[in-house]
């Protein structure tokens, strides 16, 4: 299913707090959903701490390989916010106070009668040659350089920035999906499902186990970009579930009177 028109993406989430467990990331899952809706394939995610070397290395590996790289975190005003510096280093350009960003921030703080401190001015720093990503929530812009989209870590701000960004990206062919609840555990369906997958190579069939504390069930998700192929695969998955259900009910009526299984 390699298709040159399908764009690929990676995410780099930045922040010690994600690696210490203090903050549970909320941006990865959100980005994943938004990109899927936009028909862009998220292929890899990395999380690194607030260390310049780690950020530069991950960024270089990802931007080389994927069409888009989206980052979250590290663009605030404090000493541990070093994403702008690290991105500048990766691109080999100076990290400067952007005049437009300085203007936006200065005006906003003036309007609020608040001091435009050195720390706040840090938020206007970005790699030379960047374009802004608007921040309707708290003004300080994200930025784009090359194929790298640098956004805030605070989820409300990340989401607002991402909405702006995604609207500017060429839309891919959206991945369609069909979800089928299945009352059987993966062990009951694995072999049959493997055969269904083999018969429908244009689709990707995922099996997601759910454990309710006593027994496993699964949700089967058929994905693909071609609606007809998707329908055909989903039809065969549904037939498989029905056949297994009838088989189980046959077994139950034979077992009648033996009581519940342990």
- Residues of span 47-66 touching a second copy by CB under 8 A: 47-50, 54, 58
According to DSSP, the residues that pair with 142 across neighbouring strands are: 133
Question: Tokens 């605030």, residue?
Answer: 76
Q: Are 180 and 236 in contact (CB under 8 A)?
A: no
Q: Are 29 and 230 in contact (CB under 8 A)?
A: no
Give the footprint of a second copy on residues 10-49 (CB under 8 A). 16-25, 28-36, 41-49
> Among the candidate windows 83-91, 165-173, 180-188, 236-244, which touches a second copy by CB under 8 A?
180-188
User: Quick one: which of 87, 154, 222, 240 contacts a second copy (CB under 8 A)?
Assistant: 154
Q: State the minimum distance, in angstroms, from the CB of residue 112 to a second copy.
A: 6
Q: State the minimum distance, in angstroms, from the CB of residue 170 to a second copy.
A: 20
187 binds a second copy per the rule CB under 8 A: yes
Q: State the minimum distance, in angstroms, from the CB of residue 10 to a second copy.
A: 10
How many Å apart are CA 196 and CA 34, to the nearest integer? 29
77 binds a second copy per the rule CB under 8 A: yes
Residue among 34 and 96 whose Cβ is closer to a second copy:
34
Site string for a second copy, 225-254 (x = CB under 8 A): ------------------------------
67 binds a second copy per the rule CB under 8 A: no
Q: Are 172 and 5 in contact (CB under 8 A)?
A: yes
Residue among 131 and 151 whose Cβ is closer to a second copy:
151
> Among the candidate windows 84-92, 165-173, 193-201, 229-237, which touches a second copy by CB under 8 A?
193-201
**For 175, which DSSP code?**
P
Q: Are 8 and 63 in contact (CB under 8 A)?
A: no
183 binds a second copy per the rule CB under 8 A: no
* Distant-in-sequence, close-in-space partners of 88: CB < 8 Å, separation ≥ 6: 94, 95, 126, 127, 128
Distances (CA, A) of 177 to 36, 71, 180, 183: 10, 27, 10, 19
HSE-CB at 132 with a 13 A cutoff on CA atoms is 18
Scored b (16 or more CB within 10 A) or e, 71-91 reads bbbbbbbeeebbbbbbbbbbb
112 binds a second copy per the rule CB under 8 A: yes
> Among the candidate windows 104-112, 124-132, 225-233, 236-244, which touches a second copy by CB under 8 A?
104-112
Q: State the minimum distance, in angstroms, from the CB of residue 34 to a second copy.
A: 8
């Amino acid at each position: 299913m390699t298709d040159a028109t399908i764009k690929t993406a990676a995410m780099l989430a930045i922040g010690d707090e994600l690696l210490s467990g203090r903050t549970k990331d909320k941006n990865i899952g959100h980005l994943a959903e938004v990109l899927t809706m936009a028909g862009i394939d998220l292929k890899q995610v990395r999380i690194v701490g607030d260390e310049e070397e780690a950020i530069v290395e991950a960024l270089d590996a990802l931007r080389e390989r994927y069409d888009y790289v989206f980052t979250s975190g590290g663009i605030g005003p404090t000493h541990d916010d070093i994403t702008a510096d690290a991105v500048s280093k990766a691109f080999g350009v100076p990290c400067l106070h952007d005049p437009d960003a300085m203007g936006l921030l200065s005006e906003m703080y003036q309007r609020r009668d608040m001091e435009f401190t050195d720390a706040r001015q840090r938020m206007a720093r970005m790699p030379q040659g960047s374009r802004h990503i608007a921040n309707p929530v708290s003004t300080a812009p994200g930025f784009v350089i090359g194929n790298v989209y640098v956004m805030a870590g605070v989820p409300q701000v990340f989401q607002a920035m991402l909405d702006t960004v995604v609207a500017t990206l060429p839309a891919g062919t959206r991945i369609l999906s069909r979800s089928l609840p299945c009352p059987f555990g993966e062990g009951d369906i694995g072999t049959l499902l493997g055969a269904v997958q083999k018969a429908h190579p244009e689709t990707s069939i995922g099996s997601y186990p759910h454990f309710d504390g006593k027994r496993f069930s699964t949700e089967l998700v058929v994905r693909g970009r071609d609606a007809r192929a998707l329908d055909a695969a989903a039809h065969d998955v549904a037939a498989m579930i029905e056949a297994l259900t009838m088989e189980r009910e046959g077994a139950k009526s034979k077992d009648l009177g033996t009581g519940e299984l342990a």
